[in-house]
Amino acid sequence: MPSVLPDGDPAPADGLLPASCAHEAQGRTMSFYVHIPFCTVRCGYCDFNTYTATELGSGSSQATYAATVSKEISFAREVMERSGQPHREIETVFFGGGTPTLLPAGDLVSVLGQIRRDFGLKPGAEITTEANPDSVTRESLQELADGGFTRVSFGMQSAVPHVLKVLERTHDPKRVPQAVAWAREAGLDVSVDLIYGTPGESLEDWRMSIEAALSYEPDHISAYALIIEEGTKLAAQIRRGEVPNIDDDDHAEKYQMADEMFAAAGFSWYEVSNWAKTPANACQHNIAYWKGGDWWGAGPGAHSHVGGLRWWNVKHPAAYQQRIDAGISPGHGREYPDAQAVQLERTMLLTRLSSGMQISELDATGRTKVAGLIADELIDAKAAFAGTLVLTQRGRLLADLVVRELLDF
Amino acid sequence: MSPLARTAQVPAATDPSLIRNFCIIAHIDHGKSTLADRMLQLTGVVSARDMKAQYLDRMDIERERGITIKSQAVRMPWESEDGTAYALNMIDTPGHVDFTYEVSRSLAACEGAILLVDAAQGIEAQTLANLYLAIEGDLTIIPVLNKIDLPNAQPEKYAAELANLIGCEPDEVLKVSGKTGEGVEALLDEVIKQLPPPVGDAKAPARAMIFDSVYDTYRGVVTYVRVVDGKLSPREKIQMMSTGTTHELLEIGVSSPNPEPTKGLGVGEVGYLITGVKDVRQSKVGDTVTNYLKPASESLGGYEEAKPMVFSGLYPMDGTDYPVLRDALDKLQLNDAALTYEPETSVALGFGFRVGFLGLLHLEITRQRLESEFNLDLISTAPNVVYEVMGEDKQMITVTNPSEFPDGKILEVHEPMVAATILAPSEFIGAVMELCQARRGTMRGMDYLSEDRVEMRYHLPLAEIVFDFFDQLKSKTRGYASLDWKADGEQVADLVKVDILLQGDQVDAFSAITHRDKAYSYGTMMTSKLRELIPRQQFEVPIQAAIGSRIIARENIRAIRKDVLAKCYGGDISRKRKLLEKQKEGKKRMKMVGRVEVPQEAFIAALSTDEPKKK
């Protein structure tokens, strides 16, 4: 998640949710996101809420972090009960970062255990952790699998050393196939994450990265265009002219290349930036985000969405730990989007999915736009005839434009 | 001389021999208003306490720009050195070339003029033009250097320049400071001594010339007149000689400087009339007022209908403001007889008006007043002049808008010409000649005003000076050159209409009539400007410039290929939603041309002379 928190109302110290959220939560899936805010180095492009040992300062530590975040999980159960939320077993858990695998596997397993104890896990629940290829071993991956994890997502980014250098990723690209093999051995589902459009990355470089990723035979691939976030080292380098700027046309070209190569290798897109070998391999946790499911985000800076309320925690691990130790909510700000905002969110999230959005969900103005979107080859005609709005490849690249059109912006 | 007259002459009973009518001819910032203020104060008609700086310039906009648009007249008492009480009428004149006709009428109301020149800057072209009008009208000229208190004043140098110009001795040039008051009393004494008194036939039917008319919210139209013959009295019926319309005189009086009703106005007197009329067009500058019962047989002459020289389309940014714009123009016209307009529709800009102006300054002032007084946001199209065009059918049509330019074969196009006078330091002769040649000008003569100042006279197409000529002139002469122009016939020229097409759709707001030699450069300038200004769309947008069906320039806005946030995690949702909501605000300022979204900023930037901003 980006490190800059949105504007919103202050979150109350007791963390209680408005009564209306209890009603709204009915029938929604419940997930957990656990944020692990640690990295060995900060990558040049990254503005996520994460800290190296030197950035962290005193007042919080990796050693006690699992215990602290476990306390928030118990706090979550208490708050949800007191707010009249229906009891729901957890369908997906996602450990993200930072680098979750910087914590000992045992810590991650113990946090998962806390969720299991406090909420219960639905049978067949998807439990994912992000991992850096060089912070895992055969043993640590086995320990995660034994502890209930079902899926690991490796931050591969690129197979090309000079691209990794611009991104300041420290791993050796040769380490990735090894890590993937170990994960498979342990019985985990495997995803690899790629980043395209890094300054200096040629089309040929990108093709090599795609080929490498496919050769590891993962069952899921994410490919994200590099975003230059304000305040990152890379943004400063571009501003100073040391590194060329990124280019949307280059991104579009590379997206098309990836989509076609993934499809040829038997992967189907199920979200703008995600491809899966089979529908069962799609990341259920992310789908929950996009379909408007509920989740509690634990950890500093983590975002939550329960019963229509969105809130986010204080950002710094030290401030976070202080709140947790004092038994008060780590929530920093929150918002309760109104009907119009909810419609906007639903449209922008559902249209990202290959399952699409029901045309009947659009308002009258939105429905009049459908024919034009078909004519512009932005949405799939056949799906539209059947009542669903599904983006074409061109439409996926112009998804924001489609959303603006549907909402008559 | 006396600071205050002990006795004042009574209006309607003042002997013409005790009246002096004068105006002040000065360049924009040469201190006319400050001097006028000082005179009002010295003659006691305005106390120092009530003195608002620049009392005569009533309108805010005039004060803001430091120029006088509307003239007024003030009656001031003054005693000569021998103790005789005189009545002085100071008639304020507009200082800008756009208002030449109004200037000429103000001058016609006077017997003399104070030629006021900044002692640090010397005479400027517009002043020369007005001075010419004054000399032509047989006015007595009193040369005066102002701002002698300034440290960089060069009174000797400019006294020599003035003396050389009007044929007097340098020591006859008076030196004053409106700011400190130095020399102003002496100047008033000289007005009495040097100017001839007005002459007229008191027994003849009344003939009074209108030199200004102003709309007042409470009183209706206030008409300023100079009586030449006869007498006008309250309650009598008067007649306008150009139209024959009659009005009852509800009030007649003098300004000093607030309106004071009088028993009438006699020969040589200057004052105001109120008839209850609400529209200044009923009371036209230059017209002659006479008694209805005993009408004069001949008017004073010199009356001309105001003729707009420059046209521009004015459109509200927000289409719903159209009625507001219409009302605003109606109101402005009450006060500005030279303003003409008619409704016009533009495919690109919606509903608006084609507005005729006397010149570029008139356009700018009007636009500024519409925006500040009526709170309107406006887009104005590039100004153009009036063409006479003969198509294949041999019919001559008048074109005030590029959209009226006939399609098909054109036999002849006539364009209006001007005689321009440019004053500049001699080191810039080359730069000025280069500019005028590039604007299709022909030199008609050149004279040295002094060793280092030169007057250049050019015959130029009006169309070439309405857009950015003055800005160019200023920048090429580091601000030193001054310009004056007046209409001077027409010429046949090889003119064509250049259209701009966005994705095949003509954007009427960007069409222009230009000389054939310049069509290509207009076309490439406009297409490349628009390529920078219009954001990429989801389809390719060709931008073409065309003469008829012939494409002369082309640019392409490539289709946008990516418009999506690649990653959208749980925490991104609020942020991304807010991003989209922000884009919604931006969308409101878009105009559709066919399927192409054009930001309003693009219209403004494309229609202005400035370099386009990067999108």
Task: Count the helix, strand and coil residues of chain A and give each as a percent rounded to the nearest 5.
Answer: 45, 20, 35
Contact between residue A129 and residue A143 where contact means Cβ atoms under 8 Å apart: no
Q: Strand B378-380: give its sheet, edge to edge.
A: B340-346, B350-357, B310-316, B378-380
Instruction: Verify whether the Cβ–Cβ distance B571 to A303 is below 8 Å.
Output: yes
- Rounded CA separation B460/B324 (Å): 38
E-strand spans in A264-347? Answer: 268-271, 274-276, 294-298, 303-306, 309-313, 331-335
pLDDT at position B401 over 90: no
CA nearest to A303 within chain B: B571
Higher pLDDT, B409 or B490: B490
pLDDT score of A272: 96
Q: Which residues of B touch A7 (CB under 8 A)?
A: 578
> A55-59, A186-190, A340-344, B22-26: which has the minimum mean pLDDT?
A55-59
CA dist list (Å): A288 to A90, A233, A305, B276 = 12, 32, 11, 76
pLDDT at position A71 over 60: yes
pLDDT score of B151: 93
pLDDT at position B69 over 50: no
Instruction: Verify whether the Cβ–Cβ distance B571 to A301 is below 8 Å.
Output: yes
Q: Residues A339-347: what's their mean pLDDT? A: 93
pLDDT in tens, A140-194: 999 999 999 999 999 999 999 999 999 988 888 889 999 999 999 999 999 999 9
The one-character DSSP state at B281 is G
- Rounded CA separation A284/A310 (Å): 20
- Its pTM stands at 0.67
Q: Which residues of A touch B559 (CB under 8 A)?
A: none
Nearest to B577 among A249, A253, A345 (CB): A345
- Rounded CA separation B36/B56 (Å): 8
Rounded to 10 deg, the angle between the A105-118 and A62-82 helix axes is 10
The one-character DSSP state at B376 is -
Nearest to A312 among B560, B565, B571 (CB): B571
Q: Does A400 touch chain B (CB under 8 A)?
A: yes
Radius of gyration from C-alpha coordinates of chain B: 28
Instruction: Verify whether the Cβ–Cβ distance A6 to B575 is below 8 Å.
Output: yes
**Which amino acid would we find at residue B115?**
L
> B47-61, B112-126, B463-477: which has the minimum mean pLDDT?
B47-61
Q: Which residues of B touch A227 (CB under 8 A)?
A: 565-567
Radius of gyration from C-alpha coordinates of chain A: 21
Q: Does A399 touch chain B (CB under 8 A)?
A: yes
State the binding site of B for GTP. 29-34, 146-149
Q: Which residues of B touch A397 (CB under 8 A)?
A: 561-564
Which three-class secondary structure state does DSSP give residue A273?
coil
pLDDT score of A3: 56
Nearest to B562 among A248, A335, A345 (CB): A248
pLDDT score of A267: 98
pLDDT in tens, B235-276: 999 999 988 899 999 999 998 877 889 999 999 999 999 998
Q: Which residue has the tokens 């007057």?
A: B455
| Angle CA A204–A207–A208, to nearest 5 | 90
CA nearest to A343 within chain B: B577
Instruction: Verify whether the Cβ–Cβ distance A225 to B566 is below 8 Å.
Output: yes
pLDDT in tens, B193-241: 999 999 999 999 999 999 888 877 788 888 999 999 999 999 999 999 9
Instruction: Verify whether the Cβ–Cβ distance B573 to A310 is below 8 Å.
Output: yes
- Rounded CA separation A52/A54 (Å): 5
Q: Would you list which residues of chain B are within 8 Å, Cβ to Cβ, of chain A?
A: 538-539, 558, 560-578, 580-581, 583-584, 587
Nearest to B571 among A1, A8, A398 (CB): A1
pLDDT in tens, A263-272: 999 999 999 9
Mean per-residue pLDDT of chain B: 86
DSSP B190-215: HHHHHSPPP---TTSPPEEEEEEEEE
